[in-house]
Amino acid sequence: MTHGFEKIRELEIPELNSKAEVYRHVKTGGRVLSIINDDENKVFGISFRTPPSDSTGIAHILEHSVLCGSRKYPVKEPFVELLKGSLQTFLNALTFPDKTCYPVASANRQDFYNLVDVYLDAVFFPNLDRNRLKQEGWHYELAEPEGEMTYKGVVYNEMKGAYSSPDSLLYEHSQQSLFPDNTYGLDSGGDPEVIPDLTWEQFSEFHRTHYHPSNAYAYFYGDDDPEKRLEILAEYFDQFEKIDVSGFRVPLQERFTDAVAVRKPYPASLRLAKGMFTVNWGLAETSDANLNLALHILEHILIGLPSSPLRKALMDSGLGEDLAGVGLEADIRQMFFSVGLKGIHPANAHKVESIVFHTIKDLVEKGLDPKDVEAAINSVEFSLRENNTGSYPRGLTLMFQSLSSWLYDREDGEDSDPLVLLPFEEPLGNIKHWVENGDRIFEELLARLFLHNTHRSTVLLEPDQKMAARIADKERARLKAAKAEMSGEDIVRVIEEAGKLHRLQEEPDSPEALATIPRLAVSDLDRENQNVPTEMKHVAGVSCYHHDLFTNGIAYLDFGFDLSGVPGELLPYISLFGRMLTEMGTQDRDYVDLSQWIARTTGGIHAQVFVSPIRGTDRAAARLFVRAKCTMEKAQETAEILTELLTRTKLDNLERFRQILFEAKSRAEQRLVPAGHQVVAARLKARAHRAHAMEEAISGVTSLHFLRELAERVETDFRGVARELERVRELLLSRKGLVLNATLPQGDFVVLESVLKGIVDALPENGADPVVFCPDPLPQREGLAIPSQVNYVGKGCNVYEHGFEFVGAVHAASKFLRTSYLWEKVRVQGGAYGGFCLFDRTSGSFNFVSYRDPNVEKTIQAYDGVADFLENLEVPQDELEKSIIGAIGELDTYMLPDAKGFAATARELVGETDAFRQEVRDQILSTTREDFKKLAQAARIVAENGAITVLGDSDAMQASKLDLEIKEIL
């Protein structure tokens, strides 16, 4: 017994360099998984089983609401206060179909404990009231008795955005089709048509019953004190008595005896008038470690590579433009697999289904290609051993993995084991042994879980050009009917309640309340940047940045080819060309053999475009990086692959090029809704600097137009297209301007130097001379129309061109602005899901952008009010210090070794030396109240000179008074 917890299990996990301890809180039954290791990026999470009984979004809205003030921290938005003044490396909350998770992470110990305490108080003792439900969920908005009533709410508008995304709808319908009788048949995020049915009584009762230690799954990871973890939890868990939470178990879906077929519409435009189709199978429970890992490998075999047999069969059919479906979904109790095609004619759905089943039947009868199996096992094993979670903390990935088994009780009602899926050596060893022994394990899985599995569905999503209008009309009719049923007193009450909510939203927190939020002091921050070791070396006469970092036996190698000699008319080819290097095949082998070779040998090879302004100039650092990672044992063979890619890629395969092209076009179109804020920001930045214009031409709306035109041209003039691709290769793939980037220990670099030299020597010497990129001018006020229920609203310009001078303190002031005025005006009061300000110190581009926004003109007005807000602001000392801490936290973003090496080289390329970055840090640490006035100068420049870009609903843009030049792009 330790602090009221009894230890249930302890396990050393050598492959994770960790020890895991499982505890149960004796008094309440609360569960704890404590993972102990030397990772400084500490993670805490507390999760609850929250299976909803309807699609009102109750769990999702509650996830938002509990972070809006608590017993111990009685401020309006503790979450925002933490964003302002924390060194957090992760801070968020997430709603899943059957659980709600509240994870935080920080590499600073005291900061970590601060985050943990705020989150624990938030989930167990939130200050929930009707206004929280109105703000985060939904409420009636009415300004005057005769006016038009509307719905407003953060989650309401977030989900209107989700329901505008065909990809999101396809995922929901595919999952729900397989699980019609349990929680997975509902939308835990909330259906906008159903969200207004949620009542306060349901909302408050859901928290009372679900947010309790008896229903809690607490998780710790990292190098903090294991004893203190339990002490922290006991302070909260001990305040509760045990309750019965057996009703929150997720029941198994009864298996189908016959397949089902689902047809659903999605809101489309005349331009986007194609269908999406998936075949879906309900598989098995997640908790069998061998089966779980085998299915992940099988997913890679089937669709993980361009050459994978099922992916290839679907793409070779010519029936669609890109793969559809999520593949293997393993984060819920019963795994499922979903695959199909996007961009099909709905009448061809049955042909797609036939291809899927014919391919699987063929694989079962003839057997899998051993090279595909070897490639998949190597790729999955490399990923497991590297444990590269990108920008996510490693501990967070393990938390979600543990919940995949932990959350679901055993048949006898006892807790399940959270450690089933974490150790991977044994199941990996078993699978490799079975394969080496000649066992047809993957063919058996295909036969049993796919070919002869009656628990399956098909989902056809059909374009409906009138659906968006019907949804809007239905919403207006519902609101009109609701208002018609109201008495005069009811209408007055709606107006008064909306007004009261607005006043509460605008009312500042008291200094006493704000003082309750724990935070570090500025004096606790490191005064010096932690610089990445970088040494300039030369390999075969080419500059090479070497970063001497521990990489656990992996070599990270990047080849940066200079884009400055590629003329503007060829720039939109660059992303396609990058994919072609690894997906087209070479003079010596077709793309199937090539894909298998890469996957069998390496941890992956891919191309990445990097374009950024060079500090203090109008020039661009523009590179196409070919990035590879491998074990040291496979370095020589990896070099052979790279040499073949860079010197012998085949560019004239029409059928393969058409597949890559249509995939790229489809992905660019589907990206517009979920990533609309990024599209708008890129469009605004393109006006500010030549480098940003290049980036937009390569990956923005300009690129989408190019891909559409190319899709038509390729059918009649592929020879001309192939000549242009060959010209790109001649201009780009040479030693001239090439830079290398190597992240690995010094001893390994010495070994690899001759290998790198061999690759460089194989490249031609002469490249292109730089050319000046002259982009076409963009409209000063533009509207990009798409079929969407929400908007993405932006305004910005290059403030350097109007006399603004950068100082590092701008980062602290921007941090404050994002988490105060913009949060309040755009999100809380405006109902958008997010509002941001983005300052690029290399170019001077300063932009305001919103995300899933019900407004257009009102948001622009909020942006134009920023200057007055900052000029009239009396910044409290506490707010000033929080902004400094938050800005330093962003400066010190936690990165894994490969990311550190790449970031250090990127800084060198754009002219951000270690000395300059230290100067920025010093300026942030010495930020004063007057520096906030300096950002007001930049905001005033944007208000008076800024361009406007809006992506969203055409009617909403036309109804605004912004005089937008509207163009339909989807």
Catalytic residues: 63, 136
End-to-end CA distance of the chain: 61
Q: Which two tokens stand for residue 405?
A: 């088994």
CA distance linking residue 59 with residue 100, whole number of Å: 7
Contacts of 760 (CB under 8 A, 6+ apart): 539, 540, 541, 542, 735, 738, 740
CA 645 and chain centroid, separation: 30
Check: CB of residue 628 under 8 Å from CB of residue 605: yes
Contacts of 495 (CB under 8 A, 6+ apart): 142, 143, 144, 145
Orientation angle between helical segments 309-316 and 654-671, nearest 10 degrees: 90
Q: Any bridge partners for residue 31, and if so which?
A: 24, 217
CA distance linking residue 164 with residue 471, whole number of Å: 11
Radius of gyration of the chain from its Cα atoms, rounded to whole angstroms: 28
Residue whose tokens read 């293997």: 328
Pick the closest to residue 402 from 338, 329, 328, 330 (CA basis).
330
CA distance linking residue 851 with residue 828, whole number of Å: 13
Check: CB of residue 190 under 8 Å from CB of residue 61: yes
Contacts of 563 (CB under 8 A, 6+ apart): 571, 574, 609, 611, 620, 622, 623, 624, 694, 732
The DSSP symbol for 449 reads: I
Check: CB of residue 603 under 8 Å from CB of residue 551: no
Q: Any bridge partners for residue 10, and if so which?
A: 21
Between the CA atoms of 268, 269, 272 and 274, what dihedral angle is there, to the nearest 10 degrees?
50
CA distance linking residue 369 with residue 201, whole number of Å: 58
Check: CB of residue 161 under 8 Å from CB of residue 790: yes
What is the number of H-type helices and E-type strands within the chain? 36, 27
Check: CB of residue 328 under 8 Å from CB of residue 295: yes
For residue 573, the one-letter residue type is: Y
Q: Which residue stretches of 733-874 are H helix?
A: 746-761, 809-818, 821-822, 857-864, 866-871
CA distance linking residue 293 with residue 428, whole number of Å: 7
Pick the closest to residue 472 from 124, 820, 787 (CA basis).
787
CA distance linking residue 883 with residue 815, whole number of Å: 6
Which pairs from 411-419 meet CB under 8 Å and 24+ separation? 413/246, 415/8, 415/24, 415/31, 416/287, 417/9, 417/22, 417/287, 418/20, 418/22, 418/31, 418/33, 418/217, 419/9, 419/11, 419/13, 419/20, 419/22, 419/33
CA distance linking residue 110 with residue 116, whole number of Å: 10
